[in-house]
Amino acid sequence: MEYAILGKTGFKVSKIGLGGAPLGGDFGATTDEDVTRVIDGALDAGINFIDTAPLYGRGESERRIGQALKGKRDQVILATKAVMRGDPYSYENTIKSVEDSLSRLQTDYIDLIQLHELEQTTYEQAVNETLPAFLKLKEQGKVRAIGVNAGKLELLMPFLKEDLVDTIQTYAKYTLVDYTAKDELLPLAKEKNIGVIHGSPLAMGILADQPAPFLQHNAALLEEANRRMAQLQFLRKSDPKGLVEPALRFSLACPDIAVTLMGTTSIRSLRLNASYCDGVGLPAHELEKLYTLFPGQRLF
């Protein structure tokens, strides 16, 4: 298992982290026992970073993680988010959201609290209400570090430029079919020593030959994704799912990404994915070729 320092937080984190959405049942039915088994397997594999949110399973992910970590809380860097989609990002509601998360997680502190989905609020509200609430909670010892999350890179850039947070999290922006994070976001985060967490290295399932159901209505996006994947045959290991290993190695080996998140409820999948976190990335000639294919071209 490879480890990295998560920016200015100073946290030593496994370069592969466990994402909490599947643990809440968002991608298929799962049980408390399944989640405990996966978390125990993650710890055995050396994974010490778990990322969740109140949104995942409408609180079920946090509840199950909290239950699974009884007696093991000190073995993980635990990250969650605020607030839940549909709720206001006000100071008061942010405090309540985090207090509710603490209760579900059965812990008295959260290592990393992140503003969830910048797309759901405004920059002004984030800076004037949500972040001050996080800072208050940090003063109280209830959170240790502060971050923001967004799918759109342009929403994250002001937080980097103004050095407002300890970490940023995005998803599907350093993948084999869309590596636009490498243009501005990753270099600036490195300059500011702000830790980067990257989710969905398989581009919403596209690189696993199984696009997420919510993408099915977007025929133009899937057509473009297929066009790009046709140019990646030199990376494919097998058929199907032959791009999973190169996709994970691509993100995991990036020196400017501290944590790449994977979500699974399968012990077999967890162990296989964790085995790719061994410090071995794509060969230099393959990486160079990849970077010539879609420079600056967003997919999502």
Length of the chain: 300
According to DSSP, the residues that pair with 199 across neighbouring strands are 171
Which residues are part of the catalytic machinery? 56
Contact 194, 168 (CB under 8 A): yes
DSSP 74: G
Contact 197, 258 (CB under 8 A): yes
Rounded CA-CA distance 140/217 in Å is: 45
User: Which among 206, 214, 216 is positioned nearest to 176, based on CA atoms?
Assistant: 206
The half-sphere exposure of 63 on its side-chain side, counting CA atoms within 13 A, is: 11
Helix, strand, coil share (%) of the chain residues, nearest 5: 45, 15, 40
Rounded to the nearest 10°, the torsion over CA 185, 188, 194, 200 is 20
